[in-house]
Chain A
């Protein structure tokens, strides 16, 4: 098993944000976490990345617990998060942002080769390589955020709402690339409000509601589920 999250509890002060979340992800899968605003999806990803400390529960990566592993070591283990809202370094150029993504590596040649690789995936970024991150469009920033994540050579990529605020055509492009990244061997944990899109490329999915998982299953089944249809697919 690649990732096992077991009975995860997270508090922000008095707020009980995660109330015993349990799920898993197999090597090679795309797993979607869907749910409304404030359900605890980002909290889950941030706790895996160890930006939050859980108050109870365990997270195991390839069998070993990582709840005590500091964030920088989570990245070196191959778990890389592309955060919600893209969080591009605004005063760094596109290339510098990509180099930040490769911070854990020091082999210059390899980094250069990886930059070429992500430019192959996102040709738009190559054209804007010298431009400051803060001046990119929303779609370009999302591409850069994913590209920057790839620079760390993830084995497990955590994507937090990659479709947020983007035009449908750009969302299509980005989801195509996510599928491509997965086919090239990276497992993906995908957090989305756009349940339709997420479930259409995912193998399995979990539905979050106020800090709990209320439903889980194969992506196809969830797409057909009356409750999911009602709540997340616009009434279907």
Chain B
């Protein structure tokens, strides 16, 4: 058998594969550049459009980044892709929505004697509670997801929890549809956070609106990312998470409760996805049970792009993907509806050419 294998080269030599890959990558790059120059020569878009697209890319990118962190944290610790993570975000979106909904229904008398909803009378409290609710319920979903769908499969071959994850994802989507219906709902924001209003920036003779919802989301994403980074690098919980990610057996010998740390990792990942879910609702408005699907896959792309398992990588990957899919159609002169195609092309290209991602190290089996 061995001898037979040696005689028939089933695969090309490693070097040839590498060279073919590099040539293909260069050709692709050249194609993109030529196309971009072509489009730029037509100068279809002004500086205002570029600014608008960049900002909206950053905003969406921040949300991708928050979700991508969850993929990366879970992968880092369990070496599995939590494909139900997008649904955890969806649950967060609903959590925030119902808080706004409830507060909108409560009428209060304002200081000047007029009647208004609690939502508009106390927007800061309402937004705070919407995030609190969205993050909490998403965190709980993450917690139970791990307990029910993944923990019993610990130690099974790696494909098994992956299938369970896909099953959990479909289950949660269907549960969402059953509970809340298939119809699209609209986030009812407090008036001060109305979609579309914002700061006006004059650029090249036209006006760009930096929406309050967008800038708010971007700032909150940044705060949460810094918070997470500090948690992982500086706190005892963070150190335990890193220890469990590096070596579970030894972590247990240090007195770390490994199962508890895994649970907490899912809770943290869920909370961040929940925050992204509420932002999604506040910023984009329309959503239904399916809202987590695309952001979920794109955040997964972002995590792979940044090197799965690598936290700063997930953050950068998310921001990068947001910007690329926002600017991409304009740069390439294609329809804006094709932005999803750009995101998925990137996923495929990264998987082919650099599966370890931009910041990632080569995946080692020893960690498993």
- Enumerate chain A residues within 8 angstroms of B239, measured Cβ to Cβ: 92, 96, 99-100, 103
Residue pair A104, B255 in contact (C-beta under 8 Å): yes
Residue B254 interfacial (CB < 8 Å): yes
> Are A103 and B254 closer than 8 Å at their CB atoms?
yes
How far does the alpha carbon of A167 sit from the alpha carbon of B40 in the complex, in Å? Answer: 66
Look across to chain A and name the residue whose beta carbon is closest to the beta carbon of B247. A87
Query: Which chain A residues border B236 with CB–CB below 8 Å?
Result: 103, 106
- Asked whether A89 is an interface residue with its Cβ less than 8 Å from the other chain, the reply is yes
Most buried by B among A89, A91, A96, A148: A89
User: Given A96-B239, A99-B239, A80–B253 Cβ distance below 8 Å?
Assistant: yes
What does DSSP make chain B's interface, helix, strand, loop or mixed? helix
Give the docked Cα–Cα distance between A83 and B254 (Å). 11
Q: Are B254 and A87 within 8 A (Cβ)?
A: no
Q: Shortest beta-carbon distance, A207 to chain B, in Å? A: 26
Which residue of the partner chain A has the closest CB to B256? A103
A96–B254 Cα gap in the complex (Å)?
A: 12
A51 to B258, CA, bound (A): 11
Cβ of A54 < 8 Å from any Cβ of B? no
CA distance A58 to B253 in the complex (A): 20
Binary contact readout A122-143 vs B (1 if CB under 8 angstroms, 0 otherwise): 0000000000000000000000
User: What are the interface flags for A57-90 relative to B under an 8 Å C-beta threshold, 1 for contact and 0 otherwise?
Assistant: 0000000000000111001100011010001011
Question: A101 interface residue, CB < 8 Å from B?
Answer: yes
- Separation of A91 and B253 alpha carbons in the complex (Å): 17
Given A96-B239, A106-B236, A101 and B254 contact (CB-CB distance below 8 Å): yes
Q: For A89, give its contact among B247, B255, B257 (CB under 8 Å).
A: B247
Q: Are B249 and A87 in contact (CB under 8 A)?
A: yes
What residue in chain B is nearest A80 (Cβ atoms)? B253
**8 Å CB contact of B249 from A51, A76, A90, A101:** A51
In angstroms, how far is the closest chain B Cβ from the Cβ of A223? 31
Whether B255 contacts A72 by the Cβ 8 Å rule is yes
Within 8 A of B (CB), among A94-108: 96, 99-101, 103-104, 106
Q: A98: shortest Cβ distance to chain B, in Å?
A: 11
User: What's the nearest-Cβ distance from chain A to residue B313, in Å?
Assistant: 14
Report the minimal beta-carbon distance from A149 to chain B, rounded to whole angstroms: 8
Q: Are A83 and B249 in contact (CB under 8 A)?
A: yes
B253 touching A75, Cβ below 8 Å: yes
Tell me whether B186 is interfacial, beta carbon within 8 Å.
no
Across the interface, A72 reaches (CB within 8 A) one of B242, B246, B257, namely B257
Q: Which residues of A contact B256 (CB under 8 A)?
A: 72, 103
User: Are the C-beta atoms of A152 and B250 separated by less than 8 Å?
Assistant: no
Q: Are the CB atoms of A89 and B249 closer together than 8 Å? A: no
Interface contact A89-B246, CB-CB below 8 Å: yes
Chain A CB within 10 Å, residue with most, of B242, B247, B253:
B253
- B240 CB-CB contact with A under 8 Å: yes
Q: Which residues of A contact B (CB under 8 A)?
A: 49, 51, 70-72, 75-76, 80-81, 83, 87, 89-92, 96, 99-101, 103-104, 106, 148, 152
14 contacts between A and B (CB under 8 A): A49-B253, A51-B253, A70-B257, A71-B253, A83-B249, A89-B243, A89-B250, A91-B242, A92-B243, A99-B239, A100-B239, A100-B243, A101-B254, A103-B236
Beyond the given A71-B253, A100-B254, could you list 4 further A-B residue pairs with CB under 8 A, ordered by the A residue number? A49-B253, A91-B242, A92-B243, A152-B255
